[in-house]
Every structure is written in C-alpha cells, then in structure tokens.
Chains A and B, each alone.
Chain A
Amino acid sequence: AQSVTQLGSHVSVSEGALVLLRCNYSSSVPPYLFWYVQYPNQGLQLLLKYTTGATLVKGINGFEAEFKKSETSFHLTKPSAHMSDAAEYFCAVRANAGNNRKLIWGLGTSLAVNP
C-alpha cells in the first residue's frame, strides 16, 4: 500500500532563508509525486509534479523538488522565502500502475515566514 509522510506539521523560517519541506513516500511501484499549496480558505494549487525523466523538478513560485528513489523522498525547496509563501503545503503520491485514479495525501506542513 502507498503512503506519504510529511515530516514536521509546522515549519517556520525567516524571510530570505531556505525553505525545506520534507516528504517521504512508500510505494511498491514507481510513483507519480505531487506538491500542492493551499492558502487560507482556498483550494489547493499544484506547485509541481514528478512523473518520469528528470529527477529535479521545477515548479511555480520558485519552488523545486528532487525525486530520490533510494531515499524514497520528494522534498520541496525554495532558496529564499517570501512572506507570500506562508501557506499549507501538501505532498501526494499516485501509483504509476493499474487503473488508480486516487492520490494518497500527506497530512500537510504549515509554513510560517517571519519578517
């Protein structure tokens, strides 16, 4: 069975500092991996996705993530945090096999950016 673990339910960084949000997954088959961002009282917006090919994926708003199969990780990073990055971030996985239409979600990480 697939699962997703986001380490740290709350992360706080200073403006201009590196953002690192951790995601580890469990999957018996090659996964598709996604990061989403959710601002208060809004829906989720796709930041980036990994399907196949290049393991370093660039997304919107300056975020990127690296798929590391050996570590079963897909951590999200941004070199310099902005105040506008304060939001909830979700990692999700879908099996790259069969007729699976469902995503398995992490519980989310709330990112606070301090001035």
Chain B
Amino acid sequence: SQTIHQWPATLVQPVGSPLSLECTVEGTSNPNLYWYRQAAGRGLQLLFYSVGIGQISSEVPQNLSASRPQDRQFILSSKKLLLSDSGFYLCAWSEDRVYNSPLHFGNGTRLTVT
C-alpha cells in the first residue's frame, strides 16, 4: 500500500532563517506531488505541484520554492522566512494520469515563524 511521510511535525523558526520541509511517498511510482498551505481559519492554498522529477509548477508568487530531486521526494524551501509564512503545510500525492484519483495527504507540518 502507498504511504506518505512528511516531517517535521512542528517547527518554530525565527524570521529570516531558512526552511526545508521534506515529503516522501512510498508504494507508488511517478506520483503527482503537491504542497499546500493552510492558514488559521482559512482554506487550502495550493503552493506547488509537480508531475515529475525537476518539474515544478508554482501557483502563488512568494518567497518559497519547491524541488523534486527524486521521483517520490518533494521538498519545500525558503531562504529567508517571513512572519506571513506561518501556517500548516501539507504535502499530498495523487496518481499520475488518473483524473479521478483523489489526493492523499501527509500529516502536515505546523510552522511558526517568530
């Protein structure tokens, strides 16, 4: 069966520090991968999605970036965090070329920028 791992679960970082969140998927190949952010009391905001290694689509201009160095690995990064980057970050995957495939989510990372 497929599993998705996301870490760390919680993170407190000062303003201006770098960020690296990692997500890996097991049990499937060539998944579509997604990074979402969920701010308090708001819905889900799609940040990035990827359909293959090195292929990243950015949905929202910001100081965050994403990379996919391996087929089942998706990394969210920032060189300098802002207070507004605080939120709950969710990684998800779906089956490639299966358009009724749901998204499967990791357990999320709670990021607090102080």
Taking CB atoms, residues of chain A closer than 8 Å to B90 are 43-44
Chain B interfacial residues counted at CB < 8 A:
22
Stretch among A20-28, A66-74, A96-104 lining the B interface: A96-104
* Chain A nearest Cβ from B52, distance in angstroms: 12
Does A45 count as interface, using CB distance less than 8 angstroms? Answer: yes
A43 vs B44: C-alpha distance when bound (angstroms) = 11
Does B27 count as interface, using CB distance less than 8 angstroms? Answer: no
Beyond A101-B49, A101-B94, whether A41 also contacts B108 by CB under 8 A is yes
| B99, A102: Cβ atoms closer than 8 Å | no
- What is the number of contacts between chain A and chain B, taking CB atoms within 8 Å? 51
Chain A interfacial residues counted at CB < 8 A:
23
CB<8 Å pairs between A and B, sample of 20: A32-B100, A34-B103, A42-B107, A43-B90, A43-B92, A43-B105, A43-B106, A44-B44, A44-B92, A44-B105, A46-B104, A51-B100, A94-B99, A101-B49, A101-B94, A101-B99, A103-B103, A105-B44, A107-B42, A107-B43
